[in-house]
Amino acid sequence: MSCYGPKEMAAAFRTVRGNTIKIAEEIPEDTYTFRASPESRSVAETLVHIAVMPRVPTMIHFQQHLSTLVGFDFFGTMGALHAEMQKPRSKAEILDLLRTEGEKFAGLLDGASDELLAEQVTYPEGMMPPVKSRFEMLLAPKEHEMHHRGQLMLIQRIIGQKPHLTRQMEERIASMQAAAAQMSKA
């Protein structure tokens, strides 16, 4: 019995992408050029990076269905994505890119079979572990996005915003405290 399969992966990815989109909506467009440090990506660059990076696992697992990454042209692939990330885009265009690219990837996850997820992919010599399942590899885009979303939430704090997930948690706590106070009066 599988407790976490393609449908759950797709749903979890959609949740993560939805939270990223909410942050992208809340950050004002005039701060999309903000960089936490000179060598870091801007808000816009980070959001586009998040949007297009699932194209790599899409290529590896769904388009080319590679069983080994020995010989895979990471540098060429990343170079093409880097060029895509450098295209100037408005906030609306970035939001559209996040939505469309996210749904493309989630749709692929949704349609994956348990057999596909169980397949093993060999890594180039010297990489550890030397073999991973597609399941583990296809969890990585969500983890990657959450890493960068944490950076964006910190940027929200720097520019004076409270992230929506924090606001939601505070609302739940206040609601539970109010309910507890009502129960103690009864």
Tracing tokens 């701060």 back to the chain, one arrives at: 31
Instruction: Please report, in tens digits, the pLDDT of each residue of the chain (186 residues total).
Output: 468 999 999 999 999 999 999 999 999 999 999 999 999 999 999 999 999 999 999 999 999 999 999 999 999 999 999 999 999 999 999 999 999 999 999 999 999 999 999 999 999 998 899 999 999 999 999 999 999 999 999 999 999 999 999 999 999 999 999 999 999 987
Please, which residues bridge with residue 122 across strands? Answer: 68, 131
Closest by Cα among 32, 41, 148 to 92: 32
Amino acid letter for position 21: I
Tokens 């296809």 locate to 138
Q: pTM of the prediction?
A: 0.93
pLDDT computed for residue 2 by the predictor: 66
Spell out the domain ranges in the chain.
6-161
What's the alpha-carbon Rg for the chain, to the nearest Å? 20
Are 117 and 135 in contact by the 8 Å Cβ rule? The answer is yes
Collapse the DSSP code of 120 into the 3-class scheme (helix H, G, I; strand E, B; otherwise coil) and give the result.
strand
CA angle 149–152–154, rounded 5-degree value? 115
State which fold the 6-161 domain adopts.
Four Helix Bundle (Hemerythrin (Met), subunit A) (1.20.120)
Measure the CA dihedral 108/113/114/117, to 10°: -50
Quote the pLDDT of residue 23.
Answer: 98
